[in-house]
Amino acid sequence: RGLTEKIETLVPGKQWHDALYDAVASLVLLDDLISSFALEDQPLDLLVTPDTSVWHRMRR
């Protein structure tokens, strides 16, 4: 998916565990997840407090 390349383009010369690299990596991953699951038009609350009822049912 090219996430590493995207991160390295945004923060050239940085590596894992550098605070800036890790912060940008988190944002790039979040952006990818939002795009992958078509969440662009969903309210932010969906990410903050997702419906976990299916997950809880499957654990039983």
Of residues 57, 12, 5, 60, the one with CA closest to residue 32:
5
Cα 29 to Cα 27: distance, rounded to the nearest angstrom: 5
Helices 19-36 and 3-10 sit at what angle, rounded to 10 degrees? 140
Calpha distance 4→19 (Å, rounded)? 15
Q: Hey, what are 33's tokens?
A: 């997840």
Quick one: pLDDT at residue 1? 82
Tokens matching residue 35: 């795009």
The per-residue pLDDT for 13 is 97
Q: What is the predicted pLDDT for the residue at 47? A: 85
> In which residue ranges of the chain is pLDDT below 70?
none
